[in-house]
């Protein structure tokens, strides 16, 4: 029979309901929406390092930009019971800096290259993940004994315009507009129990993100953006009870912008591919690292690569 201490220690074999990592290449990440025990709290610290053509929000991609990002983020997630299923509430606070250059096209004149940087607080994210199918609210001992299978959830993530932003800069850490993402995280776990040293997961997250208006964009009065559709997928497998690996992919399309009512004809399309390694450090702490980049895109899509490391504590 498992003692409570042993059960809680084993829970970290799954990196817990991370709920919604800061948006970036390779999306929210592998094993980000897996079930955790009833009443769990999760604290996660992120280091995010990107080089590409967008700010921290990948929806800000520009074909003529070259931007470097160094960001740290802190996330708190609390699991709750809704009926007999488990859900989670979360908040993410990023801080950091972006710097780089962007080429500005000018009619009948050569383009001009602008350089700059922005630092401070990023756009705060908050929201919820609701269990729909295969997400029972279980005490630690029952969680460990559960035979995994199929699961389906509902995600709502809101990004607030709290990040550092100045309209006279072409490069900003914040996006200066609200955004709402809705999605349906789903997956299938193969294993005899959550402690299976050969546990394998298949994960899929289709989503749509809609954007508010930026009422103070660079060199204009108003900018709007059409929704972006994304499909994020992961396949992971435990190598033993302490170590797991995964393959990650994200496909995105849409997001064309209009400035002062005139379409910019810049709809995005990109395909990102990467890999993740996860490791347990103790009974209550784990770390996972992801590296990935864009392998195919249209002329307006995301470009570049990046690295993310996440430390997680379950309590």
Beta carbons within 8 Å of 225's beta carbon, 6+ residues apart: 59, 177, 211, 255, 256, 257, 258
Helix (H) or strand (E) segment spanning residue 57:
none
Residue 35's domain spans which residues?
A: 4-103+113-314
From residue 230, alpha-carbon distances to 160, 252, 253, 280, 306 in Å are 20, 4, 7, 30, 18
Closest CA to 226 of 183, 253, 256: 256
Domain count, the chain: 1
Assess if residue 52 is contained within a domain. Answer: yes
Q: Is residue 309 part of a domain?
A: yes
Averaged over successive runs of 10 residues, the pLDDT of the chain (315 residues) comes to 36 41 67 82 93 90 92 93 88 95 81 91 94 86 83 94 94 95 94 87 96 95 97 96 94 96 95 94 88 95 94 89
Q: What is the pairing mode between strands 268-280 and 304-314?
A: unpaired
- pLDDT at residue number 182: 97
- The confidence score (pLDDT) of residue 8 equals 35
Asked whether 48 and 29 are in contact (CB, 8 A), the reply is: no
Q: Which pLDDT does position 16 carry in this prediction?
A: 42
In a domain, 238, yes or no: yes
The pLDDT value given to residue 25? 52
Token output for 157: 């993530």
Q: Which long-range contacts (CB under 8 A, 24 or more apart) does 178-181 make?
A: 178/211, 178/212, 179/57, 179/59, 179/209, 179/210, 179/211, 179/212, 180/156, 180/209, 180/210, 181/23, 181/127, 181/155, 181/156, 181/157, 181/207, 181/208, 181/209
- Could you tell me the end-to-end alpha-carbon distance of the chain, in angstroms, rounded to an integer? 22
Tell me whether residue 108 is in a domain.
no
What is the predicted pLDDT for the residue at 154? 94
Rounded Cα distance between 167 and 124, Å, is 19
Query: What whole-number distance in Å separates Cα of residue 99 and Cα of residue 118?
Result: 6
* pLDDT for the residue numbered 56: 86
The confidence score (pLDDT) of residue 15 equals 40
Please state, in angstroms and as integers, the Cα–Cα distance from residue 299 to each residue in 75, 109, 212, following that order: 34, 22, 24
Indicate which CATH number applies to the domain containing 86.
2.40.160.40
Nearest in space to 8 (alpha carbons), one of 197, 198, 143:
143
> Helices in 255-310 by DSSP H: which ranges?
none
pTM given for the model: 0.91
Structural contact between residues 210 and 178, judged by C-beta atoms closer than 8 angstroms: no
Confidence (pLDDT) at 161:
97
């Amino acid at each position: 029979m498992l003692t409570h201490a042993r059960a809680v220690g084993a829970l970290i074999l799954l990196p817990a309901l991370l709920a919604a990592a800061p948006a970036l290449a390779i999306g929210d990440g592998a094993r980000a929406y897996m079930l955790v025990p009833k009443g769990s709290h999760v604290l996660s610290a992120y280091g995010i390092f990107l080089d590409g053509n967008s700010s921290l929000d990948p929806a800000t991609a520009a074909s003529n930009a070259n931007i470097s990002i160094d960001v740290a983020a802190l996330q708190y997630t609390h699991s709750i019971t809704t009926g007999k299923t488990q859900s989670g509430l979360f908040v993410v606070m990023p801080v950091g800096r972006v710097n780089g250059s962007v080429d500005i096209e000018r009619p009948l004149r050569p383009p001009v290259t602008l350089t700059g940087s922005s630092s401070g607080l990023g756009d705060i994210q908050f929201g919820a993940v609701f269990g729909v199918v295969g997400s029972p609210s279980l005490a630690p001992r029952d969680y460990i004994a559960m035979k995994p299978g199929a699961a389906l959830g509902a995600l709502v993530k809101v990004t607030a315009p709290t990040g550092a932003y100045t309209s006279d800069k072409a490069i900003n850490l914040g996006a200066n507009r609200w955004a709402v993402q809705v999605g349906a995280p789903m997956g299938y776990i193969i294993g005899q129990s959550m402690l299976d040293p050969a546990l394998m997961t298949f994960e899929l997250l289709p989503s749509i993100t809609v954007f508010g208006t930026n009422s103070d964009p660079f060199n204009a009065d108003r900018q709007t953006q059409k929704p972006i559709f994304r499909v994020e997928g992961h396949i992971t497998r435990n190598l033993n009870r302490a170590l797991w690996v995964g393959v990650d992919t994200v496909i995105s399309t849409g997001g064309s912008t209009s400035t002062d009512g005139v379409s910019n004809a810049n709809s995005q399309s990109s395909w990102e591919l990467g890999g993740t390694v996860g490791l347990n450090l103790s009974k209550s702490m784990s770390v996972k690292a992801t590296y990935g980049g864009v392998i195919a895109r249209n002329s307006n899509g995301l470009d570049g690569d990046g690295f993310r490391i996440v430390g997680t504590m379950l309590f």
